[in-house]
Amino acid sequence: MSAADEPPVILTRGLSKVYAPGSEAEVVALKGVDLSIARGDFVAIMGPSGSGKSTLMNLIGCLDTPTSGVYECDGIDVSTLDAEELAALRRNKIGFVFQGFNLLPRLDALENVAMPLSYVRVPPQERLERARRALAAVGLAERADHRPNELSGGQQQRVAIARALINHPPILLADEPTGALDSRTGEEILALFKRLRDDGHTVVLITHDAHVAAHADRICVMRDGELHEEAAP
């Protein structure tokens, strides 16, 4: 099967999310979103606070469930999964990168990156070998024994990206990944995402910043819970 014939790694049809339905406090956060993202795409989902982009991110990341519609993650209809299967899908299919890095301060970079493998019974020596390779992939092999407080913000985010990649997930979901970084360091992280895309990863970037979104190959804009595809930057 050629890349063009592969099914989308992310596919939503009529995806909607309503909070407190039927009550006076009802909020329609997402309205019938149709989205298709191919393997190896670099897509930015942009929008201001309250636009629905965070809700969409939570649904794509299987951190929440839709009120209606369909979401297929790497060909799997997530509505067919129980809680344990959903947790396994998150672990194996999606790598998360957040604005706040979320590194454990008492662990060094190598241990932080290796940590997700402790949940899937990977032997300790293999965990460390895979973590070393992941750190090398983000240009931090020489910082493996440094704790987070001994690393710059950009280096901490690289460690977080290496941790997200440790299970070789097809999807990298990044929520405002440059928000806590200065502009120069942010550009370096965005360049890293482009290299990861070139290596075959699917990168979905959530941002409110048009300059950050412009680094992606496609831009989708959330407005009042609806998704609008923008022209390529």
For the stretch 42-101, pLDDT in tens is: 999 999 888 999 999 999 999 999 999 999 999 999 999 999 999 999 999 999 999 889
Sheet holding 10-19, edge to edge: 27-37, 10-19, 68-73, 76-77
Q: What's residue 1's pLDDT?
A: 44
Q: How far is CA 96 from the centre of its chain?
A: 4
pLDDT over threshold 50, residue 2: no
Domain assignment present for 55: yes
Q: What's residue 131's pLDDT?
A: 96
Domain assignment present for 2: no
pLDDT over threshold 90, residue 18: yes
Domain assignment present for 86: yes
List the beta bridge partners of residue 97: 174
Domain assignment present for 1: no
Domain assignment present for 111: yes
Rounded to 5°, the CA angle 143-144-150 comes to 55
Which residue, chain included where needed, has tokens 């460690």? 159
Domain assignment present for 151: yes
For the stretch 179-223, pLDDT in tens is: 989 999 999 999 999 999 999 999 999 999 999 999 999 999 999
Q: What's residue 232's pLDDT?
A: 53
Q: What torsion, rounded to 10 degrees, do the Cα atoms 74, 159, 103, 216 define? A: -50
Can you give the residue range of the structural domain that contains 121? 10-229
Q: What's residue 138's pLDDT?
A: 93
Query: What's the CATH number where 88 sits?
Result: 3.40.50.300
Domain assignment present for 3: no
Q: What's residue 21's pLDDT?
A: 87
Domain assignment present for 69: yes
Q: How many domains does the chain have?
A: 1
The residues near 40 (Cβ < 8 Å, ≥ 6 apart) are: 3, 197, 200, 201, 202
For the stretch 169-178, pLDDT in tens is: 999 999 999 9
Q: What's residue 122's pLDDT?
A: 87
Q: What's residue 109's pLDDT?
A: 97
For the stretch 109-158, pLDDT in tens is: 999 999 999 888 889 899 999 999 999 999 999 999 999 999 999 999 99
By residue count, the chain amounts to 233
Find the mean pLDDT for residues 9-31.
92
Its pTM surpasses 0.85: yes
pLDDT over threshold 60, residue 233: no
List the beta bridge partners of residue 17: 30
